Amino acid sequence: MEHEKRQIVKVINDIDELFTLVDISLNRNISFHHHLRNGDYVINYVLNKYLKEKVQGINLFPSAIFPSYTSILELIKNKQINNITTNYLNGPVAEYISNNGLEGKLTMQTHGGRARSIIEGKNKIDIAFIAAPYVNSYGDSVGYLGKNKCGSLGYSIPDSVHAKIKVLVTDNLVDLDIESPEIDGSNIDYILLVDEIGDRQGIVSGTTEVTKNPIGVKIAKNTSLLLHELGAIKHGFSFQSGAGGVSLRVTKDVRDIMIKENIKASFFSGGITKYHVDMLEEGLVEKLYDVQCFDLEAIESLSRNKMHIPISASRYANPTDESQIIKDLDIVILGATEIDYNFNVNVTTDSHQTLIGGSGGHSDTASESKICVIVSPLIKGRIPVIKERVTTITTLGKNIDCLVTERGIAINPLRKDLIKKLKNSKLKIVTIEELSRIAYKFTNIPQDIVKHDKIIGEVEDRTFEIIDNIYQK
């Protein structure tokens, strides 16, 4: 029996003990994942130690930053943090950085880009602190079991292999074998035991629902009609939609078409919700490749459905990973805070230059998919979604194919093939400039308020190209 030869991982009972074994001041590049979302206790637990020890020059590599990660704010205010490299951030930390910047700089990566950077050694991580809901003594782990289960652990897999020191932080250490673990214990150095890794309420917010807002419903309908006219909803197609209300409504409308025309999809990828699980269980799609679970139904499906497969961020979206899933992705539905005449999309900052998000898998999926559709209301609270130039480029326009709004659809002029296919369409297809003029008929032209005085960060694409700067508000 092979596992009998396996090493038992050293268990540590509190963080002070860990730092008797590891020199905290020499290990300042630290990473976390965000699978516990706003319910995460691990980040604050670990970083409070760095606060207490007054460690200077920290470089932080969380896959995302949520409002409850308040210790990060304190570290920034104390000037203990140098650089932050992440894929997504919102809440007080995001607001503070927007207004004040960092000692060093903020680097916004993509999910695929982060995985690639860690694997290729561009992001050098000293310690990966990995919140793990279900761990055995060998250090194997899965995310879809345990009292604080979160589903797929996808974003933490590269860290669990390539960080110098890998620490699983868990409240659930079992003495059982784990079949096909997401995290391979042979890479793990320590298991740090805590009372709770998170708060269930915050982990599974369960708020992603199909939109009922009539504008959103109209946008979704236009999108499914567009995909249908393009012949993209066909046997064996693959599809990704985020967990936004409009994206989910598109999924529902696509489902209706699939049932009506007896079409089966090959796979759905990305963040998975109960709606995707339902379609798997109805036999409408063959496989779910899951890098992140958005609700409890998705988490529970992982332990029930063999064809619901948790994948690492690298397998999901790393362009140099040979098994990259989204290379085979036909359709992706994405959102936008802003989009410009060149189809560049911003989901990183709002129109007031406050950081409100980030790429996540936006640029990754847009780059790889055959058809990338942006869904957005044309006007949001008097602000037109179309600008001459977005405040911050998250995803380059060359990777965006269509914009669908409630008042019309614009196709990227680079996609001559799509434009040709839609020549006799009954849908309202216009140029993006024309759509912008339609918006201005209602809103008038907003004053340009973007400041370009001080660079506080940059947007790094999955190619490692810096595609835009982030400026202080």
Partner 1 sequence: MKTSAGSLESSDCLITISDSDKLEIIIESVVFAQFGDQIKEVITNTLKEHKITNILVKCADKGALDYTIKSRLETALKRRGDINE
Partner 2 sequence: MSRSYLFIPGNTPSMIQNLDVFESDAVIIDFEDSVTSYDKDSARILIKNFLKKYSYKDIDLYIRINSYDSLYFLEDVKATKDLDINGYVLPKASVKAIEELNKLSSKAIIPIIESPMALLEAKEIADQENVTALLLGAEDYTKELGINRTLLGTEILYARSFIAIVARAYNIDSIDTPYTNKEDEVGLKEDSLNAKNLGFTSKSSIHPNQVDIINQVFSPSKEEITEAKRIVKKALDNTKGAFSLDGKMIDLPIIEKAKNLLDKAKKYNM
Residues that bind partner 1 (CB under 8 A): 351-352, 381-383, 442-444, 446-447, 449
The residue among 49 and 218 lying less far from partner 1, judged by its C-beta, is 218
The residue among 30 and 226 lying less far from partner 2, judged by its C-beta, is 226
Q: From CA 35, how far away is CA 313, in angstroms rounded?
A: 12
The residue among 214 and 231 lying less far from partner 2, judged by its C-beta, is 214
Q: From CA 277, how far away is CA 268, in angstroms rounded?
A: 10
As measured in angstroms, the least distance from the Cβ of 114 to partner 2 is 39
Q: Which does 121 bind (CB under 5 to 8 A by kind): partner 1, partner 2, none?
A: none
DSSP 110-127: BHHHHHHHHHTTSS--SE
Q: From CA 62, how far away is CA 31, in angstroms rounded?
A: 5
Q: Which does 407 bind (CB under 5 to 8 A by kind): partner 1, partner 2, none?
A: partner 2
Q: Which does 217 bind (CB under 5 to 8 A by kind): partner 2, partner 1, none?
A: partner 2
As measured in angstroms, the least distance from the Cβ of 419 to partner 2 is 21
Q: Which does 406 bind (CB under 5 to 8 A by kind): partner 2, partner 1, none?
A: partner 2
As measured in angstroms, the least distance from the Cβ of 285 to partner 2 is 23
Strands 379-380 and 383-384 come out as antiparallel
As measured in angstroms, the least distance from the Cβ of 377 to partner 2 is 9
The residue among 443 and 472 lying less far from partner 1, judged by its C-beta, is 443
Q: Is 154 helix (H, G, I), strand (E, B) or coil?
A: helix
The residue among 196 and 229 lying less far from partner 2, judged by its C-beta, is 229
The residue among 442 and 464 lying less far from partner 1, judged by its C-beta, is 442
**170, 132 in Cβ contact below 8 A?**
yes
Q: From CA 41, how far away is CA 453, in angstroms rounded?
A: 37
The residue among 187 and 443 lying less far from partner 1, judged by its C-beta, is 443
Q: Which does 426 bind (CB under 5 to 8 A by kind): partner 1, partner 2, none?
A: partner 2
CA neighbours closer than 13 Å in the CB half-sphere of residue 313:
29
DSSP 55-82: --SEEEEES-B-TT-HHHHHHHHTT-EE
Q: Which does 214 bind (CB under 5 to 8 A by kind): partner 2, partner 1, none?
A: partner 2
Partnered with residue 292 across adjacent β-strands are: 271
Q: Which does 466 bind (CB under 5 to 8 A by kind): partner 1, partner 2, none?
A: none
Packing angle, helices 245-261 and 214-229, rounded to 10: 40
* Count of helices and strands (H, E) across the chain: 15, 27
As measured in angstroms, the least distance from the Cβ of 418 to partner 2 is 22
The residue among 301 and 405 lying less far from partner 2, judged by its C-beta, is 405
Residue 146, Ramachandran bin (φ over 0: left; ψ between -120 and 50: alpha; else beta): left
**339, 368 in Cβ contact below 8 A?**
no
As measured in angstroms, the least distance from the Cβ of 443 to partner 1 is 7
As measured in angstroms, the least distance from the Cβ of 445 to partner 1 is 9
**158, 115 in Cβ contact below 8 A?**
yes
Q: Which does 446 bind (CB under 5 to 8 A by kind): partner 1, partner 2, none?
A: partner 1
Residue 269 has which token pair?
Answer: 């990828």
Q: Which does 352 bind (CB under 5 to 8 A by kind): partner 1, partner 2, none?
A: partner 1
Q: Which does 20 bind (CB under 5 to 8 A by kind): partner 2, partner 1, none?
A: none
As measured in angstroms, the least distance from the Cβ of 447 to partner 1 is 5
The residue among 306 and 423 lying less far from partner 2, judged by its C-beta, is 423
The residue among 54 and 426 lying less far from partner 2, judged by its C-beta, is 426
As measured in angstroms, the least distance from the Cβ of 208 to partner 2 is 18
Binding site for partner 2 (CB under 8 A): 212, 214-215, 217-218, 221, 406-407, 426, 441-442
Q: From CA 225, how far away is CA 287, in angstroms rounded?
A: 24
Nearest to 450 by CA among 392, 395, 385: 392
As measured in angstroms, the least distance from the Cβ of 449 to partner 1 is 4
Between the CA of residue 303 and those of 132, 142, 274, 287, 299, what are the distances in Å?
16, 10, 14, 14, 7
Residue 409 has which token pair?
Answer: 């659809």
The residue among 380 and 421 lying less far from partner 2, judged by its C-beta, is 380
Q: Is 304 helix (H, G, I), strand (E, B) or coil?
A: helix
Strands 173-174 and 238-241 come out as unpaired
Q: Which does 351 bind (CB under 5 to 8 A by kind): partner 2, partner 1, none?
A: partner 1
As measured in angstroms, the least distance from the Cβ of 383 to partner 1 is 6
